[in-house]
Every structure is written in structure tokens, then in C-alpha cells.
Structure 1
Amino acid sequence: MLAFKNLKLGTKLNLILISILISAIAACGIFLSRILETKIEQEVADKAFLIIETMNSVRNYTSSQVKPELASRLASEEYFIPETVPAYSAREVFEGLRKQPEYQNFLYKEATLNPTNPRDKADQFETEITQRFRQNEQLKEKTGFRTDGNGKFYYIARPLAIKKASCLECHDTPERAPANLVSTYGSEHGFGWKLNEIVASQIVSVPARNVYQAARQLQLSVLSIVGMIFLIAIALINLFLKSAIIQPVKKMALLSNKISTGDLDLQFNHNSKDEIGSLAKSLNRMVESLKMALQMIEEEED
């Protein structure tokens, strides 16, 4: 505190302004970070919800339109027709979408604990989510961020349960399943499902890395603009301080020093009506009063 008091007026003001600048940039950074984080989550969530609803439409179309048309072939074909399975159709449509560069890092999977098709096998993360759905049947959706080797993702997960008895025709026992399904996928996996049992999780993962990078760039741009505005303001304040306060005060200090040595013929000219102008007038009146007092003393001595 003592060292601050010993500094010059301009240095004190600059230190105060720089402190305000740093505080303002820090506050703007925190506030902007929270706003952008909310915006990021909303943006990636909107994309994820759009994809998962689109995939559900594909599943419904396959179940209601495609499968009935191919029902006659299912019993006679040597190999199983996977296009009749809603999960397969949704996955294939999504894989077609992923061929576009802007969607190549998006993920869709109906992660199954005991799948017929090995590519639908749930990994550890997906298994944990499915187990949560199985433990709490009131839980209808789970969302959040996850990070893996490919970056940060926002995910939406919904439980998939066996709601139709017709599904058990392929997943009850190998003996009841179509022969072409067993010959295509084998008899070891995808069986033993129960009606109303949650067997999988429908999961969409949307990459958040690009959105975060864009948000960080925007944040840096805004903070740079704020910093530049403050620096320009500091420069203008310094110019004003130098011309309107520091230089007049220095002149008055020099004048006062000369007056203290007996030079009473000096006048400080300052035309403004601000506080510096009032101080200048007071200084000039003091000089006049001092001259009058000295003159009276000389007359009395004479």
C-alpha cells in the first residue's frame, strides 16, 4: 500500500485501469463460457434428437411396410433377409448417412446385450446404460457427454424392450426361430429374450469437438475485442489525463516552487472551469495576496 502511495498519479491510474481490464476480461470469459456451454449442449442435443427420431421412423417403416411385403420370402429363402429387421434397416440407413463427411463421426447403435448380429453387441459403456434401464423401468431416456478415443460426444440413450410377441419368433429359442436365421447367424446368440424385457439401448452419439472448437474461437474473438476496447479506452484516458490533469499540475508545481523562492511576478493561465481551473485561480489569488502582504510589510518598515 505504501509503495502504491509513492507512485505517480498516471502510474496509479494505469494500474487501476489494468486491474479493471483483467477483472472485466475474466468476468466476460466466465460468463461467455457458461453461455456457450449451454448453446453447445443445445445444438448437439438438437442434432442427436433429430437423428434418433429419424431412425425410429425408419424402424417403424420397416416394421409396418417392408416386413409384410417380404413375409412370404422369409419362410422360403435359404438365407435370412436382414432388411426385414427394423434395427438392421435403421443401422444401414445411418451408415449411408455417415458416408457424408460432415456425419462420418456420428454414431448410431442399437446396443444389445445378447444380439443376433455380432455388430450390435453392446460394449462396456452401452452395457452399463442398458443395465440402468433394466434396473429402473421408469427411466425412459438418458443423455450426457462421454469421451472416448475419438473425442467428446453428446449421447442420447433410450431403452428397447420386447413389446410384441411376434419378436419372440426369432429370439425365443433356436428351435422356434426360422431355419434360415439360425443358418445365417448361428444358434448361440440372440435367443432367450422375454416379452417386455429390456434387451438393448438405442444410442445416438453426436461429436461435440467441432462445436467446442467453434465456441472457443468465438470466445477468444469476443475477449480479444473486449480487450482491444479496454486498451483503446486506457490509451484515451491516459491522453486526457496527461493533457487535462498531469501537465497542468506539473506547471502549477513548478510555479509554486518559483513562488517559494520569491518570484511573485508569475501567473498560471488555465482557461477551463473545471477543478484544475479553480485550483489555478486559487493559486493566482494566493500570489496576489502574498504580494500585497509583502508590500504592506515593506510600507510598515519604511
Structure 2
Amino acid sequence: MKSIGTKLFLFIALFTLFFSAFLLQRTHSLAKRLVDDTVHQQAALALQFNLSIRRYVDEKIRPVMYQLVGQEEFIPETMSTSYVSRSIFADVNEHFPELILKFSAEAPRNPLNQATPEELAIIDYFNLNPGAESWQGSVILNDAHYLAQFKPRRTEENCLNCHGSPEAAPVSLVERYGTEAGFNWPLGEVVATDTVGIPIDEIRAKMWTAIVGDLVILVFSLLLLLGGVFLLVRKLIGNRLASISANFEKVCRQDDDSVQLPRLTESSQDEIGSLAQSYNQLADKLHRYHQSMQEQLQARTAMTEQLRREITERMAAEKEKQEMERKILHVQKLESLGVLTGGIAHDFNNLLVPIVGNAELAKMVLPPDSPAHKQLADIITASQRASELCRQMLAYSGQGKLVTQQLDLSEVAREQAEMLAVSVDKKARIHYQLATTPLPIEGDATQIRQVIMNLITNASEALEGNEGDITIRTGSLTCDREYFKQNFNEEPPPGQYVFLEVEDTGCGMDAETAGRIFDPFFTTKFTGRGLGLAAVLGIIRGHHGAIRVYSEPGKGTVMKVLLPLAQPSDQAPVAAAEQPGIDPDWRGSGTILLVDDEEMVRTTGATILRAKGFEVITAGDGREAVDIVAQQPERIECVVLDMNMPVMDGAEAFQELRKIRPDLPVLLASGYNAQEIVQRFHGGKLAGFIQKPYQIEQLLGALQKIMQPAEAPQAQEEKTRS
């Protein structure tokens, strides 16, 4: 058995070894980082100094020289940024010959500026990565390792004065350098770099020499300390502890269960003496502790049982808390995705306005037999499909168009039977288990039909072309908080609900897929867009309902939708607003103020309105529109106003316009639906509303109805008679 002194010696030796290795690695790492940071700073400083010289020559000296010698003269010694900077750093290199600072080009006028193969590779890198602002790293220059920084020199418009065609360059420049090199630089390409290189091998070698020297001294000192500690421990501790250990061995060799320990006779006053006294006190107390052990054991057993019950209760509470947090995160995720999807849809609508408008304008000016009509019609059709995708995205975000009325859910499903039969695969069998009693809900009939159609279509696709059954069930049930808590991520208010179930015998899905099927743009189908079920979720949430998916791989899927049960009501359905028509021969007059933060929307709208005879003033935000009306209130006859704008939005601008001129007609154009607009404007009376993306006929029809309310019906009647 090794003694304590030997173990202590080995421990200190290993500690010294590992500490020295750690110190060596750490010192080397810190010193290397310090050297690299210093070299980086020096390279950046030198490069910035070079760029500042070039900028000063380009912005200060060259314009003055052109004024003095004329545009046809070019004096490189004072007007060339590369010449001046090279001359200055030639003097710097006399004091710092190892420093590299140059202007490197692929085909320079001056051979001193010829790029090396490494520098040519950097130029190619910048051209392949147009967004790169700089590059730095270790390269080999002049057969040595350098830390180099490269700044791309892209051909700009003002560079072409001297580096464009030789015919356009100053005469003196051509006479001096000829017409072969330095001309015909392509605009926007990187043709050269500003290069700074600092040698790092010598710096690192000096650093390593200093580290090794210091480390040798440190290790030698630690070895001396190690030897002294070993001798001291062996003399003062080892021998005396061996005596105490022998006494303990006597106790261990006892054959009975006695707790009586022999006392020690150590009389010194140091730590080992204190250890002996503590041992003697331990021997005296051990007998008393042995007597009370059973009592303490019983108390500990009771305490352990109580603790077990508390832990069980706490684990149950923690599990409930985690489930609540999961549901909150799920709701927050849906809300965040809804805000994102709604924003994308609104931006897409703004982009579709100029696309549709310009395509229709182009059709109007083209000859009837032009072959471009087909392409323009395809553009308009594709834009309408994109608009439909936007409507699905708005439905997911809860911002879709909503026209509510009282519906019987079973009747809505029954009415779609014929359409559903032709929409699913021929091998799919649809079964209806609809409630016989009315199931009234307050909802948008079109959107409820869309929910049923999407769920049935999804169930049909789950059959994957095989024979299978799809079952549609409706009914009502009473839902309490516990039911929602156990079965749904959403927790609507408890009460009476109507349910719609769509069950299929298809392939089913795993838990991960089931948790993502309502995410926008998530799809497992090759041709899918991932918006069908996302729109279903948005519609159901917009109707204050909830949806749950029950599915297992290979066992089919059940989609269960809950919608609040409505009370019987005599309220008439809310009808959708009719799109205003237009007399094709109608011509407008007067001044229209077109307000939109998208420049393309303003440009397209202004072109359409001017083509119909209007004078158009445009504004990029609500504040600008209010200022224009305030300056010339009587000139403006109508305002076409966007909703979402910076500085001042449409609702605030509308209120300000009402203060300036209460009778000024305002036509609102927005991606929001009409019901949301009424809520946003707090009952303010708008002259009209069109939803983006709008077509020319919709915009002009709304303006005709606003500006000639008495003539528009008459013109439409004459058009019908003709």
C-alpha cells in the first residue's frame, strides 16, 4: 500500500504536469490570439489608410486638377489614386520592407500593379460572391506566409472616364500608357483589389520562443517546490498517521459487535493531535448514538413517506404545468404564423395590383390581332390564381373575407354531397351519418363549405388511390373545460357545440406529421402548396371553434371540428357586396388623389386613371395625402386611399381628411375584408371599398359610382339595351 507521502508526491507531480501543459496551451492560445488580433488591426489600419488616400485623391485632388488642366488631361502623379497611394507606400516600405500594400489588377497599366495568381483567385472570389465586402486570411505572398486583407475594387460609373473605351479616356492618359491595358473595364465587376499583407511567421516565432523560456523556468520552480513538500509531509504527517492507522486496525480485528473503541494517547497540539482528540470524543459519543439509532430510524422512515407523497403531488402539478405551457406555446405559434402569413398575403396583394393593372393596360393598347393577347391573358389568369392563394393565406391568418349567417351544419354537408362525390377518388366510398335535428351555427357559408371540401379532399388523398371509406358525421355535444383541456390545443369557452367529423381508412400519419399539418406551406404531397388545412384552421379559429386530429400510421385519420351552437335567430344573412360595373364609354374628369406606399401600385393606378381622363396626384403615405388636401382642398374630387402605410395609416388619414373637408369622397383599397374595414374606421362613412388585388374594371366602376352616382345606372341601362 502506497503511503500518503507517495500519493501526495504523485498527485503534485501529475498536477504539475497537467498544469504546465494547460498553461502552455492557454498561454500559446492567448498569445496567438493577441498576435492575430494585433496583426488584424494593423492590416485593417493600413488598408483603411490606403483607402483614405485614394478617397482623398478621388474626391479632393482630382476635381481640382480637372479644373486646372481640363478634362482631356490626366496626370497620374496627382490624379491617379493607385499611383499616389503606391508612391506614398513606397516610402513606407523603406522603413517597413516586410509590409505589403498594393493595388492589384488583372490587366493593369503599370506592371507593378499586376496581380499574383493568389490575388487573381481573390478577384474571382469577389466576382462569384457579389455581396462580399472584404476577405482576409492567411496566404502565401513572395514565398512567405502573410495575413492579408483584400478589399474589392468594383468598376463604377466614374471609373469609366479613364478605364472605359480608349476613345473616351483623356488624351494624355492614352499617350502615356497606350490603348492595350487598363481599358474596357466591365461596369459592376471586380477588376482589382486593395491588398494589405503583414508577415506572421516571424512574429509567431518570437512569441513561441518567449513562451517556451518562461515555461521552462516555471516547471523547474514547481519541481523544486514538489521535492520540498514531499520531504516535509513525510516527516510531519506520514509517520504519525501510520501510528494512528495501526490503532484503527486493532479495532477492525475485533470479533464482537462492540462499539467501544480504544483511546489514543497522542498529546501534541497540532492538527494530528486534534485528530486524536476528536477520535477519542467520537469513541465516547458513539455508544450514545447507537442507543438512539432506532428512534431516529423510525422518524426518518415517517419523514421519507411524507416526502414521497409530496414529490408525487408535485410531479403531477409539474406535468399539468408543462401541458399548459405546451398549449400556450402552440397558440402563440399559431398566432405568430397567422401574423406572418397575413403580412405576406397583404404584400402579395400589393404586388399583384400592378401586375394585373399593367397586363390589362397592355391588352387595351395592343391591336386586337396581336399574339401577345394570349400571354397577357395567361398573366392575368396566373395573377388571379395567386390572388386565390392570398385569400387562403388570409383565411389562415383570420383576416379573410367573412359574411356570417345562421346555417344548419348538417344541411350544408348534405347540400355538398353531389359535389363531394365527383371531387374524391372513384374508389372512395362516402358515408353520411348526419344529425336529424337542426345544428344551427353562425358562420360564413362559403368558408364552411371550404372546410368540408378540404377535409374530404384530404381524406380521399389519404387513401392513396386504394379502396376505402370516408365517413362524415355531425352532431352536438356539451363541452366543459376538462374536455377541451384533454383533447384540444385550443380551449374555447365551455358550452354547447356542434361537431363535424371526417373519418377515413387511409394510411394515417405519425404524431410529428399530425402536429404540423396545419402549418402554412407544410405538405406531404408532391403537388401540394400546404395551404388547404392551414386555411381550414384559420376559418375554424375565425368562427371561434377548435379542431383535433386523431391518427395513427396504418389506422386512418379522424378530423373533428367543433363550432359554437347558435341560438335560433331571425337575422337575415349578410350578403356580399356586389362588384361595381362600368360603362366602357364613360370618361372621368377632375383630380384624383391616389395614396399608396407601394410605388408600383401608385404608378399603375395613375396610368389607369389618366387613361380615363382624370388628373392624378399621388402620395406615398397618409401624412403626405393630408398635406396635399390641406393645401388645395377644393381641387381634389376623390381620394383613393390605402390602409396599411408608414408615417400615418389609412384610418388616421381618413379622420384627418374628414376634418379638412367632410364631404370629400374616399374610396378605400385594401387587402382586408369589408367587415374589418368598418371596424377599423369606427363607423366612419366611406364612399366605397375595393379589395386588393383589384382589376381596372373594379377600380373604374367604383369611381364611376362615386363621382357620377346619378349617371352610372343610366349608362348601365343604355349599355344593356344596346
The interval holding the TM-score normalised by the smaller chain is 0.7 to 0.9
Give runs of aligned pairs for residues 171-186 of structure 1, distance below 5 A.
171-186=163-178
Residue number in structure 2 paired with 1:226? 218
Shift of 1:169: 2.4
1:53 and 2:48 correspond: yes
Partner residue, 1:42? 37
Could you report, residue by residue, the CA deviation over 1:133-179 in whole angstroms, capped at 9, with x for unpaired residues? 111110001111223455332111111112233x2122222333333
Which region of structure 1 is more displaced relative to structure 2, 7-16 or 58-67? 7-16
Partner of 1:122: 115
Instruction: Provide the C-alpha distance between the structure 2 equivalents of 1:148 and 1:193, rounded to a whole number of angstroms.
Output: 26
Matches of 2:31 and 2:93 in 1, distance apart?
27
1:153 aligns with 2:146: yes
User: Structure 2 counterpart of 1:207, which letter?
Assistant: P
Deviation at 1:114, TM superposition (A): 1.9
CA distance in 2, matches of 1:104, 1:148: 13
Specify the alignment match of 1:188 in structure 2: 180
Q: Distance in 1 between matches of 2:78 and 2:229?
A: 73
Q: How far apart, CA to CA, are the structure 2 residues paired with 1:177 and 1:61?
A: 21
Which structure 2 residues correspond to residues 144-293 of structure 1 after superposition, within 5 A?
144-165=137-158, 167-245=159-237, 271=268, 273-275=270-272
Instruction: Check conservation: 2:145, 2:200, Cα contact below 8 A.
Output: yes
Is contact 2:102–2:194 with CA below 8 Å preserved after alignment? Answer: yes
Tell whether the 8 Å contact from 1:169 to 1:177 is kept in structure 2 after alignment.
Answer: yes
Residue 137 of structure 1 aligns with an amino acid whose one-letter code is P
Distance of 2:275 and 2:63 partners within structure 1: 97
Distance in 1 between residues matched to 2:142 and 2:89, nearest whole Å: 21
Q: Counterpart of 2:147 in 1: which secondary structure?
A: strand
Q: Which residue of 1 aligns with 2:130?
A: 137
Residues of 2 paired with 1:114 and 1:211: CA distance? 34
Q: Which whole-Å CA distance do the structure 1 matches of 2:234 and 2:27 have between them? A: 35
Cα RMSD (Å): 3.2
Q: Does 1:21 align with 2:21?
A: no
Asked whether the equivalents of residues 80 and 184 of structure 1 are also in contact (C-alpha less than 8 Å), the reply is no
- Are 1:107 and 2:91 counterparts? no
TM-score by length of 1: 0.73
Query: What's the counterpart of residue 296 of structure 1?
Result: none
Give the structure with the larger strand fraction.
2
Percent of aligned positions that are identical: 21
Which runs of no fewer than 5 residues in structure 1 stay unpaired? Answer: 253-267, 283-302
- Cα distance in 2, alignment partners of residues 180 and 67 from structure 1: 15
State how 1:21-100 maps to structure 2 within 5 Å.
21-71=16-66, 72-73=68-69, 81-100=76-95
Q: Normalising to structure 2: TM-score of the pair?
A: 0.32
SS at match of 2:197: strand
TM superposition shift of 1:12? 5.0
Alpha-carbon distance in structure 2 between the residues aligned to 1:270 and 1:223? 45
Where relative contact order (Cα < 8 A, 6+ residues apart) is larger, the structure is 1
CA shift for structure 1 position 221: 4.3
- How has the CA–CA distance of structure 1 residues 241 and 270 changed in structure 2, closer, same or farther, with 3 Å as cutoff? farther
Q: How many residues align?
A: 257
User: For residues 149 and 198 of structure 1, what CA distance do their matches in structure 2 show?
Assistant: 23
Q: Does the CA-based 8 Å contact 1:162-1:198 persist in structure 2? A: yes
Distance 1:235 1:251 in 2: 24
**1:48-107 superposed Cα distances (whole Å, 9 cap, x missing partner):** 111111111111121223223333447687x9534310111111111111111xx22111
AA at the equivalent of 1:31: R
**Aligned residue type for 1:241:** V
Is contact 2:154-2:189 (8 Å) kept?
yes
The CA distance in 1 between the partners of 2:130 and 2:98, in whole Å, is 31
Q: Distance in 2 between matches of 1:137 and 1:229?
A: 57
Q: Distance in 1 between matches of 2:167 and 2:275?
A: 106
As a proportion of its length, which structure holds more helix? Answer: 1
